[in-house]
Amino acid sequence: MNGQALIVGEALVDIVRRGGDDPVEHVGGSPLNVAVGLGRLDREVRLATSLGADERGGRIARHLDASGVVLTQSSVSAMRTATASATIGDDNAATYEFDIAWQPRLPEPSADAVLVHTGRSRPYSNRDATRSPISSSSRPRPRR
């Protein structure tokens, strides 16, 4: 692939709690993982996201930099960095709590972007399961 990939979506810190153990934190977020994968394949990639100017945001920025991913200029703000907390029960089932206040500012369009990938800007909910994966605007129209 020649040209640049632009990935738009959340970057967050996963906080995993299991039993009485101390919580363990991991850099995550599906769009971030896509960007990191491309960067590690030596592809030119930018990530448009929303990070806080805090310790967690700094950890994410360092992880991206080490993977060859460039943050767009407006990705760091005064807001706090998003988190996803997972509590693992004795039965190994997870319950989740999300703290996402995501307000990205999209970068200016670029002729260098040959691929644009967007991720979900909110967690999947049970209500989504009742919706068709194909929106009404993308379904084939009946012939008249």
Q: What is the chain's pLDDT, residue by residue, as a tens digit (144 residues)?
A: 567 899 999 999 999 999 889 999 999 999 999 999 999 999 999 999 999 999 999 999 999 999 999 999 889 987 899 999 999 999 999 999 999 877 767 777 676 777 777 775 444 444 443 333 333 333 343 444
What are the structural domain ranges in the chain?
A: 4-130
- Residue 29 is predicted with a pLDDT of 93
Domain 4-130 has CATH 3.50.30.30: no
- Sheet containing 113-118, strands listed edge to edge, beginning at the edge strand earlier in sequence: 69-71, 44-48, 4-8, 113-118
- Residue 120 is predicted with a pLDDT of 59
Return the number of other C-beta atoms located less than 10 Å from residue 79's C-beta: 15
Whose structure tokens read 């800007």? 121
Structure tokens at 11: 């970057």
The vertex-50 CA angle with 46 and 40, nearest 5°, equals: 30
